[in-house]
Amino acid sequence: MRMLIGDQWVDKEEKIEVCNPYDNQPIDTVPSGDIEDIEAAYQAAVEGFKINRRLPVHQRISILYRTADIIKTRQEEFAVTIASEGSKTIREARKEVSRCIDTITISAEEARRVIGETIPFDSREGSENRVGYYYRFPIGIILAITPFNDPLNLVAHKIGPAIAGGNAVVLKPATVTPLSALKLGQALIEAGLPWKILNIVTGYGSKIGEALVKDPRPRMISFTGGTEAAQRIISQAGLKKIGMELGSNSPVIVMDDADLEQAAELSVSGAFWAVGQNCIGVQRIYIHQDVYEEFEDKFVARTKRMKVGYQLDESTDMGPMITEMEAERVERWVKEALEDGAELLTGGKRHGTLFQPTVFRNMPSRAKLNCEEVFGPVVSLYRVSSLDEAISQANSVRYGLHGAIFTRSLDHAFKAIRELDVGGVMVNDSTDYRIDMMPFGGVKWSGLGREGIKFALLEMTEPKVVCFNL
Ligand code: NAP
């Protein structure tokens, strides 16, 4: 596929192969973007911003609705692209496509709700004759940088609200999964989005990231990815607004009054969805000692039933990890934990990019598998004697995206809601729950700001005050 820069689809001699992570077979190529492409993309975006800020809101709405319709008619094609370039099974990929349709549709709906309010200027003595209001205007050019694990919907979460709010976008998708993003770009152009509003530059973050980030033309950087790249981007960005959607090692608490069947079933799904390469994936489960054994049995039995394999087979429950390098990293972390005394209950083995769903108990608190984000199919079970202990351990890490509690007690639920240091608490659900209109984001090292269309739109627009001195 080609990059989208200005009013054309651009090819280059130097290409990047996009491979299926299952067998490393190439499925397509994209151009390897460079400094000249970045310059062209920003020049186009400057023009694109002039176009979109003047585009009547009803036209932006129509374009976004049409885009959602186009994706709807090609759902299976989008799903196959997601599952071929990435880790998701075809069934998981279909869910992502339907979420993306939601995201674009909600962007159309929210475009008509970018509103302001009147200001009571006469609330200050001496301002009796003043009347006025504020309204929200677009922030300008937004640099969007996206990760591999939801290659379509996380792109939609940036492009949808950016367009709805009247901005222009330069997007850099993850190098291993650029095809879904380019397909979304095609759908937008086909739906009538004027050229130059959206520009998609493919290329390695390590090669073009700095030039993209340091450029003074974007007014905002909207980044989703890991903390390492996030730190580098923050240190290079200069005077820009920054939105950061980062990782976590999400905790789930299972109390002695929980429905253990429900807790086990939802936690297994939350732990191994997308091979655990999921920012709200379940990584640490704190179980009340009175139900520990029963929960462990149920959890491990369900985990053992998962079928690992080719992600495009309908019957596969868990596909390959995104690269062999990532699978090897997880293998190293597992080995380190074993050497440190952690007890393996099931899994732990790797074959190429395929990693068995892995469950530990007695994980030492200093182990990477406890304190860092594993971003792979490994989960640890911990025995706790009280809710206080569970919350204190859940909060003992530097991340805080989602937390969850399974309980039938309102007191337990509200205590967890109050005391978990996270951006969202799920009650009787795993941490892996999200719909696209809710505010989404984390505290501590899990990020800055919130996405979820309405909330992204607030970040991507600014209030302008108007005051008449009568
Ligand atoms: P990543 O390695 O941080 O990459 C994310 C994006 O940043 C990619 O497009 C990457 O380009 C680019 N990039 C890397 N270095 C850069 C630099 N110096 N300057 C500019 N851009 C740079 O993350 P990933 O492995 O794709 O995704 C996994 C991470 O994303 C996990 O930590 C996960 O928790 C997080 N995540 C968070 C959310 C959320 O909403 N909170 C959602 C999904 C994922 P290349 O691909 O070319 O390296």
Chain centroid, CA 331 distance in Å = 24
For residues 139-166, average pLDDT = 98
Number of helices (H), then strands (E), belonging to the chain: the values are 15, 24
378 forms beta bridges with 358
Give me the count of residues in the chain.
470
The model's confidence at residue 189, banded by pLDDT at 50, 70 and 90, is: very high
Question: For 56-76, what is each residue's pLDDT tens digit?
Answer: 999 999 999 999 999 999 999
Neighbours of 293 (CB within 10 A): 11
CA–CA dist 221, 229 (Å, integer): 13
Residues 384-411 have pLDDT tens digits of 999 999 999 999 999 999 999 999 999 9
Residues with CB under 6 A from ligand 1: 145-150, 154, 172, 174-175, 204-206, 209, 213, 224-226, 229, 232-233, 245-247, 279, 373, 375, 401, 447
Sequence-separated (6 or more) residues with CB below 8 Å from residue 415: 387, 391
Atom 32 (ligand 1) nearest CA: 226
So what's the pLDDT on residue 238? 97
For a substitution probing ligand 1, which of 145, 215, 323 has the most ligand atoms within 8 Å of its CB? 145
Place of tokens 């990760």: 147
User: Can you tell me which residue has the tokens 């200069």?
Assistant: 238
Tell me how far the alpha carbon of residue 113 lies from the centroid of ligand 1, in angstroms: 31
Alpha-helical segments (H) within 170-204: 179-190
Q: What is the mean pLDDT of residues 250-267?
A: 98
Encode pLDDT of 192-232 as tens digits: 999 999 999 999 999 999 999 999 999 999 999 999 999 99
Identify the residue whose C-alpha is closest to ligand 1 atom 9: 174
178 φ/ψ angles, rounded to the nearest 5 degrees: -90, -15
Using the mean position of ligand 1's atoms as its centre, give its distance from the Cα of residue 263 in Å: 30
Say how many C-beta atoms besides its own lie within 10 A of residue 362's C-beta. 15
Centroid of ligand 1 to alpha carbon of 162 (angstroms):
19
The helix or strand, by DSSP H or E, that contains position 130, with its residue range, turns out to be strand 130-138
User: For position 31, what pLDDT does the model report?
Assistant: 98
Q: 290 vs 26, 64, 258, CA distance in Å?
A: 51, 52, 11
What percent of the chain is predicted at pLDDT more than 70?
100
Q: Which atom of ligand 1 is the closest one to the Cα of 451? A: 40
Over residues 247-275, mean pLDDT = 98
Determine contact, residues 108/100, Cβ cutoff 8 Å: no
Question: What pLDDT digit, counting tens, does each position of 3-25 carry?
Answer: 999 999 999 999 999 999 999 99
pLDDT of residue 161: 98
Going from the Cα of 175 to the center of ligand 1, the distance in angstroms, rounded, reads: 10
**Residue 269 confidence (pLDDT):** 98
Ligand 1 centre from 221 Cα, in Å?
A: 13
Answer yes or no: pTM beyond 0.85: yes
User: For the segment 343-399, what is each residue's pLDDT rounded down to a tens digit?
Assistant: 999 999 999 999 999 999 999 999 999 999 999 999 999 999 999 999 999 999 999
* Residue in 246, 422, 433 to alter for ligand 1 test, most ligand atoms within 8 A of Cβ: 246
Atom of ligand 1 nearest to the CA of 446: 41
